[in-house]
Structure formats: C-alpha cells, structure tokens
Homo-oligomer: A and B are copies of this chain.
Amino acid sequence: MLVLVGMGLWDERDISCKGLELVRRADEVYVEFYTSKLMGTTKDRLEEFLGRKVTEVGRSDLEENCRWLIERAKERDIVILVPGDPAIATTHSALMLEAIKRDVKVRIVHSSSIVNAICGLTGLHNYRFGKSATVSYPYAGKVSKTPVNVIRQNLSIDAHTILFLDLHPKPMTIGEAIEIMEKADNSILDLFGVGIARAGSEEPFVRCDRLRELKKVDFGPPLHILVILAKTLHFMEFECLRYFASAPKELEELVA
C-alpha cells in the first residue's frame, strides 16, 4: 500500500494523530519537500518526533521516475510524507493515478493546507474564492500571463484569487511576485491584496493594502502567499481585514 500522509503547514507536530500512527507502523517512510516546504522544522527534528528514519525523495522520484516507489508499495507499506495536504499538488494526484493503474492500493491521510490557513488568517470567506494560480519566475525572460488572466476571470464573478508563489530555485517573496505580475499588466497595482507570511506558525504576518503599497512591505522570512481581493467584500470580511491585516480605511469602499 502507498500511503500519502500530509504534514500540515509549519512544523513536525502538524501531522495528524492518524498520520503519526501510520508512519510508526509503515515498512518504509519517505518525505518530499519538492511541492512545498515545512519552514518550522528540520529533517532531523522530524525524524526524532516521528521516531523513524526518513528518506528524502525529489521531484523525479514523484514524477517521471515514480515507478520504483510504486513497485515497492506492491509488497510493503510505504508512507510518503508531504508538506501541507497531499491532495493539493497535482504531482500527488498523478502519482496516485499511476499507483492505482498498477493495482497498488492508495490511501491519503489529510492535513491542513495553506488554502485553509488563508481563511483563518484573513477572515475572508472560503466560499468566495475563485480559481487560483501560481506566480512563476520569468522563464527565458518571458513573464507568464496566467496569474493576471486568472485574477481578471475571478474579478468577473466577484471572487478572490489565491496566488501561490514559486518555490524554485528559492521561495519567491510577495514583493517579487507583484513586480513580476506588473510586467504582464501594470493595472493590477491598483487592486487590493492581502499578503501572508509564515502561515501556520505562531508568528504569521498578514497585511492588506493596494498592491502598489504591499510591494514595499517587508514580510520577513518565507513562505509567502498573496491573495487578490474580489470586487466587493462582505462587511464581516472587511472588519476582519481591518483587525487581522491592518487594512486601510479606504478598503471600506469595497463593502457591498
């Protein structure tokens, strides 16, 4: 059996009790830090907490060279530890599909993901989020228009947008993400956004303002994530952003 166990948002203790039991009973335990990172711990601390030796696997072990992991899971109980929730990154659903096609049983043990944390940290209502997108580093000098297009689509149905920030070669900052997107469409600078740093930690930093202002804010160490607000806000969303994210008073103009 192949068991994908979510490790949650921040440190080694964000894994569920169920996940911990399965790790302790597994024949072999692997971990990947390709789809995301746990900033609040190290591999050593993780191994100590779990009471197990853990082998790190990389991108290609999860993607084009995943066959060896799947073969091992035919005979043995294999756990792969995953930052966040195993269902959020498409890498994991592709791996699950490969395993099921080869008659390997798959189980997921869920955990918290950044998508949940954003609602808690901002007070934005979960049901009002639209599609999400990733802001990538320019490739061969070219900036992807996808994030800006997704923002526009979501604005057309009055929905918020979550923007995941590229992790490779290093975690992108909120300021860098805004600078990249403004190259695709500089009118985005007038939009209101919420920047979030270190979600899931005991010291998250959350700030709401127009993107042209957020660009100048020092959000501190990673990971960072950025939300672009819908055209309108529910009054409770506005109030939460005032209290949780030091939003400027002029944000009130968005309250529907």
Complex Cα distance, B17 from A21, in Å, reads 11
Tell me if A130 counts as interface (CB < 8 A to partner B). yes
Q: Which of A6-14, A180-188, A190-198, A206-214 contacts B (4 or more CB under 8 A)?
A: A6-14
CB < 8 Å neighbour of A130 from B21, B157, B244: B157
Cβ-closest chain B residue relative to A126: B88
In this assembly, does A112 line the interface, its C-beta being within 8 Å of a C-beta of chain B? yes
Contact mask for chain A residues 2-31; partner B; CB cutoff 8 A; 1 contact, 0 none: 001010110111111110110000000000
CB contacts (< 8 Å) of A21 on chain B: these are 13
Between A8, A12, A101, A125, the greatest number of chain B beta carbons within 10 A of the residue's beta carbon is seen for A8
Smallest Cβ-Cβ distance to A18: which chain B residue: B13
Residues of chain A at interface, number, CB under 8 A? 64
> A86 at the A/B interface (Cβ < 8 Å)?
yes
Once the chains bind, are B120 and A110 in contact (CB under 8 Å)? yes
The yes or no answer to A251 lying at the interface (CB within 8 A) is no
Among A90, A129, A202, the one with the most B-chain Cβ atoms within 10 Å of its Cβ is: A90
The 8 Å CB contact of A116, one of B116, B125, B133, is B116
**CB-CB contacts below 8 Å: A132-189 with B:** 132-134, 153-154, 156-157, 159, 164
Whole-angstrom distance from the CB of A70 to the nearest CB of chain B? Answer: 14
The answer to whether A254 has its CB under 8 Å from any CB of chain B is no
**Nearest B residue (CB) for A239:** B97
- Answer yes or no: A119 CB below 8 A from chain B CBs: yes
B110 lies within 8 A of A9 (CB): yes
Chain B CB within 8 A of A127 CB:
yes
B14 touches A14 (CB 8 A): no
Which 9 pairs of residues, A with B, have the shortest CB-CB distance? A87-B120, A110-B112, A87-B119, A153-B157, A13-B18, A85-B116, A127-B132, A13-B17, A108-B120
Q: Enumerate 21 A-B pairs (CB-CB under 8 Å) in ascending A order.
A: A8-B16, A8-B110, A12-B17, A13-B21, A14-B16, A15-B16, A16-B16, A17-B17, A17-B49, A88-B119, A90-B126, A93-B123, A97-B239, A101-B243, A108-B121, A110-B112, A110-B120, A116-B116, A127-B133, A127-B164, A156-B157
Interface of A with B (CB < 8 Å)?
4, 6, 8-9, 11-18, 20-21, 49, 85-88, 90, 92-94, 96-97, 100-101, 107-108, 110-113, 115-121, 123, 125-134, 153-154, 156-157, 159, 164, 200, 202, 236, 239-240, 243-244
